Structure 1
């Protein structure tokens, strides 16, 4: 019971932080574009408590703490358009409404949410690097596993990795990340041996490992080990640079993994939903505050990326509509927008159901229920 409560508490904290920052991005830019914000809500459903600021925005904390939203003046639905496609307002009301803004301002407001998530991730990584240091291991081989892909390629103790398929390797963590994403495809590896550059071709071995949540994950393994992990101190500006670089790494890893799932080279069982996020939140919090912060930073990047997908209903879908509007000189028809919204809603719900089913399988809930009736 205590473990479950611990998981729920930290899951709520993680989701509330991520969504609040995302919505605050929309709110902050909207205010600067002159849009009136009627409601800023943390959570959904019945209001538990709140207050109204001097500019008329109702700040509220609601009963269901699984997200949040910002409602602009004049909004009637998720596409920010009135049901009949018209905007029946006075000139003064139109000036402070979301629909009455230019395409550029509406695009900026829509993009501000995902951008806020990326900035949050940079800030969290920055805080970790400047206080605790950055996890760092020199990309030098200490041992080569017998029968491994590294041994087959002729790698030796003391070899220093320089690049993998043209992407520079600054630490052993970089190398491990590149290899984990590989699904048995040959890669070109640049190394330094006895002070001289050398290029070898390696085909990582695809191996199934426990993902820490009762499921399996396919990763590529090279079969080399470093001397050990260190924490390298970073200065103020170095911390900003490496924090930004870390966000770029998370973007690259996520995009590559999703591309492999679409291409069929990686299983979709690795796609997780809210239950797995809750489980990870509890595990990381128990492992230490720094691990929990690292998880929030990674999830923030993924939330930003997800919302940039060109799917109607998401921020990326709004940006897609605004791009068409900018090219045509007028908005898309109300019927087209409504049709797009329905498709987007169906896609998002389907993805949520699929991810939740994966969670139930990977966390062995389905197996537990089936054993109750056998």
Structure 2
């Protein structure tokens, strides 16, 4: 729990502080006087004031931060000081300052994705399992062992890249063209998807369409001394490709086949140094916990998915980083639109509890997964803040658009009513998010 809380606090602190830095940087470039920039909230632990008069503070609650500008010039202020007030700036300058926060989050996401592309990540290869009959993949002719190399003409190196390219069409419906390596030949497969339900705890829509990773072939990880496996000649590193009538068995199927052959010879074929070797193994009969007799051969099995290192050069990394960010923004907006029209359940709205849970999970997986999580949440913060809801950055931009059309500032009464509406909408959204969070937590 402590690990999850720490991972969540770091994520929120970094992303919100970067958001506020966007506001700060553009405000200073526009000549606005910034009174305070705080990293964290609550009691100030340390502070210093720079030569421009900005107080930099480190506060006790490390869940983000804030920037405080001089909105109105104090009474009797000199013309020079009055010109540093936010509300005395031009419409274009005020809009740029407000827009800078969400844009900072989107730029941060693009930089994080770029970094992952440059450094490289280890991901499962896009080698598919045999799809179930009547699924979309089966109807398109997908076979076991097919390896996806491109989606709609876009080359992919890994299962993660293939999933990302397919995610929109799988959930919203439509067609997707897959280029696959099948039995040494390159083939095209056209998949036609119907719009599918998207539920946070529902089945994987990719798996429902028949697109799933092939189970990895079991490999001998260790051979126990004086075991049936050692007597038959099994060695560490042998990849088991068949056992009796089972061809390319998964680990569970292999164990079950061995257990059924207690005291009986079982032909096991393995790949060893690129050569196929067939051995006769006689599992030793042992008593199972339920009192039955099962066979054991005394070896430890491992079953790792084939992995590939996904890495790109500088130019491609930057291009892919910004493209991935733009695609994520567009996908997020489409999902929001489908929620509004009722095509997608509101149960997909997540709040701080779910975000904290994912922060902890990705941090435990590794640094690359955690950075990918930061990029995704940074996009979410940017998109959320651009929604035209009063009290959010997007709400202020909406006011400025109305001001540009009217040719004069919005009346104070409109602003007050807008604040009440915005507060109500945000309260409803947060209530829904917390309800969904705790429903998942206790269900």
Shorter-chain TM-score tier: 0.7 to 0.9
Kept in 1: contact 2:136–2:192 (CA 8 A):
no
Corresponding position: 1:328 with 2:406: yes
Shift of 1:195: 6.2
Structure 1 residues 234, 55: CA separation in 2 closer, same or farther (over 3 Å shift)?
A: same
1:201 aligns with 2:188: no
Following superposition, the deviation at residue 323 of structure 1 comes to: 1.2
Aligned counterparts, 1:273-288, within 5 A: 273-288=351-366
Q: Equivalent of 2:349, from 258, 263, 271?
A: 271
Matched, 1:259 2:337: yes
User: Is the 8 Å Cα contact of residues 26 and 112 (structure 1) preserved in structure 2?
Assistant: yes
8 Å CA contact retained: 1:183, 1:206: no
Q: 1:280/1:88 Cα in 2 relative to 1: closer, same or farther (>3 Å)?
A: farther
Deviation at 1:326, TM superposition (A): 1.5
2:102 to 86, 108, 114: 114
Indicate the residue corresponding to 2:135 in structure 1. 148
SS of the equivalent of 1:224 reads coil
Q: Indicate the SS of the match to 2:61.
A: strand
| Structure 1 residue aligned with 2:155 | 170
- 2:327 is the counterpart of 1:249: yes
TM-score (norm 2): 0.70
Aligned-residue offset at 1:90: 4.0
In structure 2, relative to structure 1, the CA distance for the partners of 1:151 and 1:303 (3 Å cut) is same
The match for 1:18 among 15, 20, 27 is 15
- Superposed counterparts of 1:78-97, under 5 Å: 89-97=77-85
Question: What is residue 103 of structure 1 aligned with on the other side?
Answer: 91
Q: Is the 8 A contact 2:137 2:211 kept in 1?
A: yes
Q: Report the alpha carbon displacement of residue 28 of structure 1 after superposing the two structures with TM.
A: 0.3
Structure 1 CA distance for aligned equivalents of residues 45 and 431 of structure 2: 29
Native 8 Å contact 1:191 1:197 kept in 2: yes
Structure 1 residues 296 and 184, CA, compared in 2 at 3 Å: closer, same or farther? Answer: closer
Three-state SS of the structure 2 residue aligned to 1:42 is: strand
**1:65-116 deviations in Å (ceiling 9; x for gaps):** 22321111135xxxxxx9xxx9875422221010010001001100100111
Mark the runs of 5 or more structure 1 residues left unpaired by the alignment.
76-81, 368-374
Q: Distance in 2 between matches of 1:298 and 1:283?
A: 14
SS at match of 1:99: helix
Give 2:250's aligned residue: none
Q: Secondary structure at the match of 2:118?
A: helix
Q: Tell which structure's C-alpha radius of gyration is larger.
A: 2
How far apart in 1 are the matches of 2:196 and 2:77?
A: 64
Which of residues 210, 213, 217 in structure 2 aligns to 1:223? 210
Q: Distance in 2 between matches of 1:233 and 1:328?
A: 51
Q: Kindly state the Cα deviation for residue 18 of structure 1 after the two structures are TM-superposed.
A: 0.4
Rounded Cα–Cα distance in structure 1 between residues aligned with 2:401 and 2:75: 20
Kept after mapping to 2: 8 A contact 1:120/1:297: yes
Aligned pairs for 1:24-35 within 5 A: 24-35=21-32
Q: Which digits, 9 at most, give the CA deviation of each residue in 1:311-366, with x for residues without a partner?
A: 111111111111111222211111101111111111112211210121111112xx
RMSD: 2.9
Aligned residues: 344
The alpha-carbon deviation at position 34 of structure 1 amounts to 0.5
List alignment gaps of at least 5 residues for structure 2.
215-305
Q: Give TM-score, length-normalised by structure 1.
A: 0.82
Are residues 60 and 149 of structure 1, via their aligned partners in 2, closer, same or farther at CA, if it must alter by over 3 Å? same
- Displacement of 1:217: 6.1
SS in 2 for 1:331: coil
